[in-house]
Amino acid sequence: MFFYLFINLNCDNSSNQKANYFTNNLTLNNLSKNYNINIFNNKIEFIQNNQQITFTGNYFSVETIKKIPIKTIKISDLTNNKIQFLSFKIYINNKFLGKFKLNELIKINKNISSLKILFIKTGNEKTIKAWDENFNYKFIDINNLESIKQLNIELFFNNTQKYNQVSLFKTGKNKFSKSKFKRHINAHNQNYRYNINTNKKTNIVTESSFIFNSDGSFKIYQLCASKNEKKIKTELFYEGNWIAKKLEKGFLLEMSGYISGYFSENNKKYINSEFYNLKATFIDNKLIFKNLLNNFNIDFPNSSLISINELAQNIIVDMPYSTTKNFTGLKLYPCNKCYLRYKVAMDLLKANNMFNKLNYKIKIFDCYRPFFVQAIMFKKFPISGYVADSIWGSIHNRAGAVDLTITDNAGNELNMGTKFDELSYKSNHNYIYFSDTILKNRRFLKKIMMENNFVPINGEWWHYNHINAREYSKLNDNFPCQN
């Protein structure tokens, strides 16, 4: 996938002052990583190598030592593999110019010393959502990212003005980090991330993207806005080098680099390529900053609730409580969605992968259960040992339990002796008066689940609690149904 950014330089040779504005050497500063440079008689060309990822939140930036006049900008797709949804923001001299789309001719007509192009939609990107008591989370699904491209960025000069060479102003050597943090990121394919967090109480939205490269360089974009005030509070770009140190709990990141951006609550408002040293701690998939930047997640918090429907296509979700076909005769859930704490969901996916290798897959009957639903169920069947009471509740109320069975690849359930939610002694793990096949099926399910951090309860062969479930609080929120 090739894209070209055409920038026409508007030079007027009728003025000696303007003609002498340029020298034969063009010096650039703070050029984005992974771009190679070619210079020709009439243009300078930035070619993005194929190791770079262009995704929502990624950006190209370059600065010049001296201002140069730019007339127009255009990003074009010169291949047959057209991306219909490519759009981007442009910032001239660190000030927002506007939002634009592919093949749109953009008039600039300004002298510039800084150009940034922020990509805000780069193809058919799938997003995954999660939530907890305080925040809503949204991430691009990097496992299905179809936005690896090669960008060619061309700056065209006036034909009468030729540059003999281009040089880069060096701002310091990269510090290569051999820390476990780098290996942690790479092991989870998280060296690039884009997420949006919304604070439910304040209605503050924080949009963040980052790239941490293995050579010790990084790139961060962050926008913070108030939905209530309909106002951008901060928008900044931060690019430089990083190192990491192991702490007793988590990691300490030390970053040094140049920040440009807008701060509505800062007297200066605009910051133009100022050097900052920042520190952040990394705990539970979150970067926590002491100043300037807002905290942001590089993955979902372990305690957040995420839909298995979105995470895995090869798990069957069939929730009887989203219909009237259950022991209460009532529709208790608004939709057929299974929500679990993120850590619980990840361990369930590991279990499913083990089943998949043996030509089986998981079928889910119940996951997170709001506390008010628990009260309805106990009122319908107030018998201890079968339905948890409405005082202490169930592990389902913590989104740390799952009711499930296993099927073959065609979706046929293995015979477990009883149906799901049969409230009888036959549902007990200790009931042995079944055929060898049924007992073998129960042991098979139990073995794989216990190998992946789940423990059974005696009264229900289908019910498994995660070993860390009691770390999470009981919830009473009705879960969201929209995609």
What is the secondary structure of 221-242 as a DSSP string? EEEEEETTTTEEEEEEEEEEEE
How confident is the model over 184-240, as pLDDT tens digits? Answer: 444 344 467 889 999 999 999 999 998 887 778 889 999 999 998 888 999 999 998
**pLDDT exceeds 80 at position 6:** no
> What DSSP line would sit under 379-424, residue for residue?
HHS--TTTS--TTT--GGGGT-EEEEEEEETT-PBPP-SS-TT--S
Pick from 130-134, 382-386, 455-459: least confident? 382-386
210 vs 13, which has greater pLDDT? 210
How confident is the model over 145-181, as pLDDT tens digits? Answer: 555 456 777 777 755 556 677 777 755 444 444 455 5
Interatomic CA distance for residues 434 and 284, integer angstroms: 44
Confidence label for 290 from pLDDT (cuts 50, 70 and 90):
confident
Output the pLDDT for position 248.
86
How confident is the model over 399-435, as pLDDT tens digits? Answer: 999 999 999 999 999 999 999 988 889 999 999 999 9
Phi first, then psi: give them for residue 481, nearest 5 degrees: -110, -20
Domain boundaries, the chain: 2-169, 180-297, 305-471
Q: Are 322 and 334 in contact (CB under 8 A)?
A: yes
How confident is the model over 29-65, as pLDDT tens digits? Answer: 878 877 888 887 777 787 777 656 677 888 889 888 8
Q: Are 344 and 466 in contact (CB under 8 A)?
A: yes
CATH architecture of 305-471: 2-Layer Sandwich (3.30)
> What DSSP line would sit under 357-375, residue for residue?
HTTEEEEEEE----HHHHH
How many CA within 13 A on the CB side of residue 112?
28
159 vs 271, which has greater pLDDT? 271
Q: Mention every residue, 6+ apart, whose C-beta is less than 8 A from residue 287.
A: 253, 280, 281, 295, 296, 297, 298
- Alpha-carbon dihedral angle through residues 96, 98, 100, 106, given to the nearest 10 degrees: -100
Cα first-last separation, the chain: 29
Q: Mention every residue, 6+ apart, whose C-beta is less than 8 A from residue 242.
A: 175, 177, 212, 216, 217, 218, 253, 254, 255, 256
Positive or negative, the Cα torsion across 131, 132, 136, 141? negative
Output the pLDDT for position 361.
97
Q: Report residue 218 as tokens.
A: 């990084």
Average pLDDT (252-277) is 84
Strand duo 460-466 + 135-140: pairing: unpaired
Output the pLDDT for position 57.
85
Mean predicted lDDT score pLDDT of the chain: 82
> Look-up: residue for tokens 């003609």?
19
- Alpha-carbon dihedral angle through residues 264, 267, 271, 277, given to the nearest 10 degrees: -100
Q: Report residue 292 as tokens.
A: 């300037």
